[in-house]
Amino acid sequence: MKVYINGIGNISPQETWDNTKFLKEVVSSDDNRLLCVEPVYKEYISPIKLRRMSKIIKRGIASALIALKDANVENPGAIITGTGWGCWADTEKFLLTMIEQGEEQLTPTAFMQSTHNTVSGQIAISIKCHNYNSTYAHRGVSFERSLQDGMMLCLEGNKNVLVGGFDECTDNFFTMLGRVGAWKKKTINSLDLFNDSQEGSIGGEASIAFIIDSNKTDNSYASIDAMTTFYKPDSDEQVNEKVNEFLSSYNLSPSDIDVVVSGNNGDSKSDAIYNVVLQEFPEATHTGFKHLCGQFDTSTAFGTWLAAKMLKTQSIPSVVKLNDVNKVPSKVLVVNHQNKENYSLQLLSKC
Amino acid sequence: MAELEEELKSQIIESLNLEDIEIGDIETDAPLFGAGLGLDSIDALELIVMLEKFHGIKIDDPSQGKDIFESIKTMAEFIRAQKA
């Protein structure tokens, strides 16, 4: 089920939309939340269409257009997105207006754009793409589900499939998740995320699109050789068993992996499992990424982006390194979990 | 007499989030849809809500919409007629 990543568009808290750059300048935050650094959207979307779009829609369309241009593709064979919470700002706007105006005089735009599949639909409308269009809202594996669907479509012969993940962190969203303990109580600098011992993580957001295909091109970043997910393992040991099973099913052992991209999010309740997994890879360079994008349901897409960029550039930025092992990336394992429930593993290779 | 027209222009800019448009850019006689401001059917729904919200006028017959929302001038005439 091997596919190639032939184009990328990444709008995140880092200046990642410019594919010629790779974390040379790092953006940090001191308020436990990393928000997107926005490109100039008028370069991608006409002003008359832009005026109606909330930030997440602008980001979704722009990241898709950047990925398509990067892959030199005009019309993708399918558009598949994943999102945990969908278009939250529009949902908030619609619900707040209902309350404020006593369910009277409600405007249609926010309601129409509040659904999870808005971004997929708006991408299709903007490029007049009538092909397969789907959105997965599967909590912490929403991006993985879109990737899985895209990989299967490629296996069936579809060309240039656009897959992606997007989520946004509005003020209200950040406050509400804070009430259930999602974020750290004391504020930290985002770059200190992995050194902080408090429970909770930092909020984040991004919109990341990939063009995948069965065929390699001159612009290919990496191949995604395999991907799997599993739910609520019984123990930390069982996570290691799953990782070993995954690798051995592709005739690999931990020593074959050059770089592990782990989804550590600084939460002392749930990061221990990453340490258990990383101990199995003493010869690999260990890297993290959530100090650059924050924690959100589709943040694994940022990990996939990091793996693909490392494989294409054959470099590992110092800001993502978690240990002192220096390997040249050839095979990268991306390990992620959300709340010790939704786990995913991705295997990427240099191409 | 032009006060209502200016008020409508301001409300349209706000309701439709016309970021780069100022009151002076909207001609009172110019068509709002197609040419002119280039509004579309979703904007028409927003304008119906705007009339109700800011002027307390409900449009019961949707077929009237095309004539009422032809321009700022026709909108103002409709509001004045309703309030007379």
Residue A140: pLDDT over 70: yes
Residue B19: pLDDT over 80: no
Residue A315: pLDDT over 70: yes
Closest-CA distance of chain A to residue B40, Å: 10
Residue B1: pLDDT over 70: no
pLDDT tens figures, A60-119: 999 999 999 999 999 999 999 999 999 999 999 999 999 998 998 888 889 999 999 999
Query: What is the spatial distance between Cα B26 and Cα B75, in angstroms, rounded to a whole number?
Result: 13
Q: Give ipTM to 2 decimals.
A: 0.76
Residue B20: pLDDT over 80: no
Which pair of structure tokens corresponds to residue A199?
A: 């429970």
**Interface residue of B18, B22, B42 to substitute, partner A, most A CBs within 10 Å:** B42
- Asked if A51 and B53 come within 8 Å (Cβ–Cβ), the reply is no
Instruction: Specify the CATH number for the domain of residue B75.
Output: 1.10.1200.10
For the beta sheet containing A285-288, the strands, ordered from the edge strand earlier in sequence to the opposite edge, are A132-136, A78-82, A161-167, A206-213, A3-11, A222-231, A342-349, A331-338, A259-262, A285-288
Nearest to A105 among B38, B42, B49 (CB): B49
Structural domain range at position B18 = 2-83
Query: What is the spatial distance between Cα A203 and Cα A149, in angstroms, rounded to a whole number?
Result: 27
Q: How many CB pairs under 8 A join A and B?
A: 28
Mean pLDDT of B6-22: 90
The shares of helix, strand and coil residues in chain B, as percent rounded to the nearest 5, are 60, 0, 35
pLDDT tens figures, A198-241: 999 999 999 999 999 999 999 999 999 999 999 999 999 999 99
Q: Which residue of A has its CA nearest to B18?
A: A51
- Asked if B46 and A105 come within 8 Å (Cβ–Cβ), the reply is no
Closest-CA distance of chain B to residue A106, Å: 7
> Which domains are assigned to chain A?
3-213 (3.40.47.10), 223-349 (3.40.47.10)
A69: helix, strand or coil: helix
pLDDT tens figures, B49-82: 999 989 999 988 878 888 999 999 999 999 999 9
pLDDT band at A297 (very low <50, low <70, confident <90, very high): very high
- Asked if A108 and B38 come within 8 Å (Cβ–Cβ), the reply is no
| Residue A43, CB-side half-sphere exposure with 13 Å CA sphere | 11
- The total number of structural domains in chain B stands at 1
pLDDT band at A148 (very low <50, low <70, confident <90, very high): very high
- Asked if A107 and B45 come within 8 Å (Cβ–Cβ), the reply is yes
Residues in chain B: 84
- With contacts defined as CB-CB under 8 Å, which chain B residues touch A47? 19-20
- Asked if B49 and A108 come within 8 Å (Cβ–Cβ), the reply is yes
Which pair of structure tokens corresponds to residue A167?
A: 């989520």
- Asked if A109 and B46 come within 8 Å (Cβ–Cβ), the reply is yes
